[in-house]
Structure 1
Amino acid sequence: MYYNLSLLFVYFFLYAIIGWMCEVVYCSIPEKKFINRGFLNGPYCPIYGVGALIIIMFLMPYVSDPILVFFIGIILTSTLEYVTSWGMEKLFHAKWWDYSDHKFNINGRVCLLNSFLFGLLCVILMYVVHPIVNDLVNSFSAFWIQVIATIAAVFFVSDLVESTRETVSFNKKLGSVYEATTELKDHLKEKGITTAHEVTAKVRDLKDGTLTEAKDSAHHLIVSLTNRISENKVINRYSHRRIMNAFPKMSHLNHQTSLEIYKAFMEKNKAKHTKIDAN
């Protein structure tokens, strides 16, 4: 029993890594920088591991017909992506990816282009990747399969717990940004700063993050806001920046304005530290 579960987890883990690699290449090349895709910190995307197992299980009986594999693969992967998007939105009150700007999308959760690409990946998986992975896994003894699965499971579960904690921290941080912005809202309005776009623009325009640099009262208010964000204990700059880089089109159901302001703050903070390191 343990061997069967171990074997299943090894397949899941390998395909989660392969999926992560594909996501990183697909997203990093257009941006011309490395982007660590996925909800977790490690080099794996669980949705691909689950998706690969579902595809293999359902499509193996149709492996003699590549066309059928392609179209059934589209249905399976699109359903999985839609359900995952919906589930993560309900859990964390955020929309992690959004295809609303793509043609033929369904609620921004899935789109025809990605579904078509996933269909092609299903064909490649069934006829190229899985035979290789299957031979690789079967080259290990039952003992080593269980050892590898146990070690991988420990890392994976630890990462899942930590990444969930970081995401909860991220949501709390957005809440604190909302509170700070709300407290300064009336004062900002008095200075002609009435929209979130204007606030984020002011944050990006700051030359320094200290109150001693305040040139006028409006500038003073924006610096006060950034100082409030910095002083709050609910902050993990690396993990929060990774989340925003991994999901650049993320939108928050409750604190979208706070998300935009926090993004501006993190960009400014990163630029400031880069300048310091360069000097």
Structure 2
Amino acid sequence: MYYTLSLLFVYFFIYAVIGWMCEVVYCSIPEKKFINRGFLNGPYCPIYGVGALIIITFLIPYVSDPILVFFIGIILTSTLEYITSWGMEKLFHAKWWDYSDHKFNINGRVCLLNSLLFGILCVVLMYLVHPIVNDLVKSFSPFLIQVAATVAAVIFISDLVESTRETVSFNKKLTSVYEATAELKDNLKEKGITTAHEVTAKVRDLRDDTLADAKDSAHQLIVSLTNRITETKKINRYSHRRIMNAFPKMAHQYHQNALELYKAYMDKNKAPKN
């Protein structure tokens, strides 16, 4: 039993790493910079690991028909992506990716373009990748497979716990940004800053970092707001920035304006600080 579970986890981990590599290439090239995709810190995307196991399990009976593999693969992967998007939104109150600007999308969670690409990947997986991975894994002894699975599981679970903690911290930070903005809302309105977009633009364009350098009362308020953002709950700059970079189209269920403001603040303060 332990060997069987170890074997499954090794497959899961390998495909999670391969999926992460595909995501990084797919997302980094258009942005012309490296983007560490995925919910976790490490180089793996669990959704690909789970997806690969589901695809292999369900599609082996149809492996003689590539067309059927393609279309069943589309259904399986699109369903998994939709459920994952819905589940993460319920857990963390944010839509982590949004395909609303793509044609033929369903609630912004899945879209035809990505589903077709996943269908192609299913064909590649079944006829090219999995036979190679399968031969490679089976070349190792049961003992080595169990050791590899145990080590990978410890790394993966540790990362999952830490990444979840960081995401909870990120949500708390957005709440604190919202509260800081709400407290200064009336004062900002008095200075002619009436919308969340204007506040975000002012923070993004801010040149001076201290109240001593403030040129006018409106400027002072914006500087005061950035100071409040810094002070309210410790900022984990690396993890928070990684989350925002990995999911640039993230939409928060309750604090979208605070998310945009926090992005502007983090863009302005790119130098790493603790």
Could you say which TM-score interval applies, normalised by the shorter chain? over 0.9
Q: What aligned pairs does 1:111-190 form with structure 2 within 5 A after superposition?
A: 111-190=111-190
Q: 1:97 — aligned with what?
A: 97
Amino acid in the other structure paired with 1:64: S
1:253-272, aligned counterparts within 5 Å?
253-270=253-270
CA deviations over 1:200-222 (Å, ceiling 9, x no partner):
11001111221112110110000
Identity across the alignment (%): 86
Structure 1 range deviating more: 211-220 or 230-239: 230-239
Contact 1:11–1:49, Cα closer than 8 Å, also in 2: yes
1:23 is matched with 23
Amino acid at match of 2:165: R
- Is contact 1:3-1:146 (8 Å) kept? yes
- Greater Cα offset, 94-103 or 204-213: 204-213
Question: What secondary structure is seen at the aligned counterpart in 1 of 2:30?
Answer: helix
Paired letter, 2:63: V
Output the TM-score relative to the length of structure 1. 0.97
Please, what TM-score do these two structures have when normalized by structure 2? 0.98
Structure 2: stretches of 5+ with no match in the other structure:
none
C-alpha distance in structure 2 between counterparts of 1:47 and 1:13, whole Å: 11
What is the aligned partner in structure 2 of residue 87 from structure 1?
87
> What residue is the counterpart of 1:219 in the other structure?
219
Q: Which residue of 2 is the match for residue 235 of structure 1?
A: 235
Q: State the alpha-carbon separation in 1 of the partners of residues 47 and 242 from structure 2.
A: 18
Residue 196 (structure 1) shift: 1.1
Alignment of 1:26-45 (within 5 A): 26-45=26-45
Structure 1 CA distance for aligned equivalents of residues 30 and 126 of structure 2:
28
Structure 2 match to 1:3: 3
Query: Structure 1: where are the runs of 5+ without partners?
Result: none
CA distance in 2, matches of 1:34, 1:52: 25
Deviation at residue 231 of structure 1 after TM alignment = 1.2
1: CA distance between counterparts of 2:57 and 2:233? 46
How far apart are the structure 2 equivalents of 1:145 and 1:123?
26
Aligned-residue offset at 1:233 = 2.7
SS in 1 for 2:128: helix
> Shift of residue 235 of structure 1?
1.6
- Over aligned residues, Cα RMSD in angstroms? 1.0
Query: Is residue 20–residue 44 contact of structure 1 (8 Å, CA) maintained in 2?
Result: yes
Contact 2:176 2:233 in 1 (8 A): no
Q: 1:100: Cα distance to partner?
A: 0.2
How many matched pairs? Answer: 273
What corresponds to 1:249 in structure 2?
249
Cα deviation, residue 234, structure 1: 3.3
> Higher mean Cα deviation, 229-238 or 97-106?
229-238
Q: Aligned-pair distance for 1:172? A: 0.1
Q: Which amino acid aligns with 1:82?
A: Y
Where in structure 2 are the equivalents of 1:202-217 lying within 5 Å? 202-217=202-217
Counterpart check, 1:59 vs 2:67: no
What secondary structure, in the 3-state scheme, does the structure 1 residue paired with 2:132 have? helix
Partners of 1:244 and 1:209 in 2: how far apart? 23
CA contact (8 A) 1:104 1:112 kept: yes
Measured after TM superposition, the shift of residue 38 of structure 1 is: 0.1
Amino acid at match of 1:183: E
Contact 1:172 1:234 in 2 (8 A): no
| Whole-angstrom CA distance in 2 between matches of 1:169 and 1:136 | 40
CA deviation digits over 1:111-170, x for unaligned, max 9? 000000000000000000000100110111000000000000000000000000000000
Counterpart CA distance in 2 for 1:163 and 1:264 is 23
- State the distance in 1 between where 2:267 and 2:100 align: 25
**Counterpart Cα distance in 2 of 1:228 and 1:263:** 15
